Amino acid sequence: MSLQALTFSDDQAEAFDRVAAEMLIHGIDLENGALTPRAEGLASVLAVVGKAGSGKTMLLAALYRALVATGVDLVSGDYEPKRRKDRRTLAILAPTNKAASVLRLRGVPATTIHRILYTPIYDPQYEKIAEWLAGTSPRPVVEGLTDLALDRAHAFYAQVPSIPGALAAAGLRGSDFIKGWKRREEPLDIGFVDESSMLDERQLDDLREIFPSLVLFGDPAQLAPVGLSGAMVFDRLGQGRKLTLSRIHRQAEGNPILDLAHALGNPDLSFEAFERLVEKAAATDPRVLVSERADASLMARSPVLVWRNATRIRLINAFRAAYGAPETELLAGEPLICDGIELPLKHRKKRIDLEARGLIKGAQVIYLGPGNRDGFARLHVVGAEDPQVSAASIIKIEKPDEEEPFIPSAATMGAAFLHGAAVTIHKAQGSQWDTVQVFAPDLYAAAQSGRSEAGVALWKRLAYVAITRAQNQLIWVTRNRLALPKDPLSVDDLRAVPAARLTLDNPSPHDLN
């Protein structure tokens, strides 16, 4: 066993050793720090599963550090050096921008599955800078860039290993150096996939085409993707391919939010008894609050989590009314959720461009204002490595008891958005927020319905997913009421984010609008 694993709980240490043994089969010796070329035709999928607080992320981080220390190269979504036969690679993936950003905040350089499936095409002169920063080529001479600009890029990359971020520090925009995107054709090597409970069979098949060795990290208590009948993709793996972390790690002990999450595993627990547990936790720990009203100010950055679409729509309209938002336009600072890309097949390249830059279904976005062309909007993609985007947008606001949504801003085609002040718990999977508001009346309705998923009461799965989205504080909202905001909407906090501005405007006016 690695010395690093000695600080683990027993089940974590066993899982570390099991993954290390899998890596050894694939020619990566974590114990002795030795690499051999990847053997052709060898493929495997392993899963590490456990409930919140069982140390999955800690284990993933330790395995990442061990692989890098052995000499394995990390592949990010922003740039990839030319392939070498003797090179061993690792990519750390998550299904959504928000899930990837949660890992990055914990020191694990994750990117989204989309950013690995689709790779950027760099302008040749700027690719020289990328190769230099990655350590594979000498310092280049680039027309239009001074030595000072290159020094700034190098200094940035030394602190944050991001090629787009370094090029932005040199004064370049994303549209200067990234000319397009292409679907990856050649396989990589090792893939670690967090939040794998969100994967469906098609996504897993895509990943298996690229990664001969996959390690999935997931929570079996979450909600399964629609169409999988309550099962996760890792539930279908063969015998001995799923490792379970059952012990709650010491760093998670005494956390009232996780205590509530694990209390839901009691099959005899009723909804009413669970609410008493929430009230008891709120009486003794400020990390849990019980409130009769949803807080409109919090909804601007972290949505209220609900079960029913009708509840979501009512809360969104109450939020807009509380801020005095006009019916015909959006205010800067209003939250949105990407509902997909509405483009015909002939615009496949532009679809890839939008998705690769973070506008994938379920992405959380903040509206910054109208773009410089009709139908375009300036957006901040929450959790994306380069969050500032201008794109042709179709923004829909649903109304209670109306079949058709109101559309305050629309291009002919482009990225489609719904309002994001309230979100269903299903769509919240993979995301985390500092403070989360859970709409308890909806969970009560789910309990009254008597529905179950994979043998577990639906309300318990919904409650588990909802409360484990909270990183630091849980607010249990008990009434269908909204507390008015104290301050107007603002985007000042987003302007403070140091990120390269990526513009999706295309010189051709017919591409997206």
The confidence score (pLDDT) of residue 467 equals 96
The confidence score (pLDDT) of residue 175 equals 62
What DSSP character marks residue 160? Answer: S
The confidence score (pLDDT) of residue 93 equals 94
A 10 A CB-CB count for 82 gives 10
The confidence score (pLDDT) of residue 250 equals 47
The confidence score (pLDDT) of residue 30 equals 94
The confidence score (pLDDT) of residue 345 equals 57
Please name which of 439, 443, 509 lies closest in space to residue 481, comparing C-alpha atoms. 439
Along the 513 residues of the chain, how does pLDDT read in single tens digits?
A: 344 444 787 888 899 999 999 999 999 999 999 999 888 888 999 999 999 888 899 999 999 999 999 999 888 766 666 666 678 999 999 988 778 888 887 888 888 888 888 777 778 878 888 888 878 889 988 888 888 989 998 988 888 777 777 887 888 766 677 777 677 777 889 999 999 988 888 888 889 989 999 999 999 888 877 655 667 888 888 878 999 988 665 455 678 999 999 999 999 999 999 999 999 999 999 999 999 999 999 999 999 999 999 999 999 999 999 999 998 889 999 999 998 887 665 666 677 677 777 788 888 999 999 988 888 899 999 877 778 888 888 888 898 888 778 777 666 678 889 999 999 999 888 888 999 999 999 999 999 999 988 788 999 999 999 999 999 999 999 999 999 998 999 998 886 443 333 333 333 332 323
The confidence score (pLDDT) of residue 55 equals 87
Q: Which residues of 315-340 are buried (b: 16+ CB within 10 A; e: fewer)?
A: bbbbbbebbebeeeebbebbbbbbbb
Please name which of 193, 145, 191 lies closest in space to residue 168, comparing C-alpha atoms. 145
The confidence score (pLDDT) of residue 504 equals 34
The confidence score (pLDDT) of residue 83 equals 63
The phi and psi torsions of 306 (rounded to 5 degrees) equal -130, 170
Please name which of 389, 376, 364 lies closest in space to residue 101, comparing C-alpha atoms. 364
| pTM (two decimals) | 0.78
Q: Considering Cα of 70, then 11, then 207, then 118, what sign does the dihedral take?
A: negative
* C-beta separation of 381 from 365 below 8 A: yes
The confidence score (pLDDT) of residue 160 equals 72
The confidence score (pLDDT) of residue 346 equals 60
The confidence score (pLDDT) of residue 334 equals 96
Half-sphere exposure for 448 (CA within 13 Å, toward CB): 7
* C-beta separation of 225 from 201 below 8 A: no
Residue given tokens 């949105």 in the structure block: 336
A 10 A CB-CB count for 240 gives 8
> What is the total residue count of the chain?
513
The confidence score (pLDDT) of residue 493 equals 83
The confidence score (pLDDT) of residue 347 equals 64
The confidence score (pLDDT) of residue 463 equals 97
The confidence score (pLDDT) of residue 200 equals 85
The confidence score (pLDDT) of residue 394 equals 87
CA dist., res. 64 & res. 60, Å (int): 6
What DSSP character marks residue 6? Answer: G
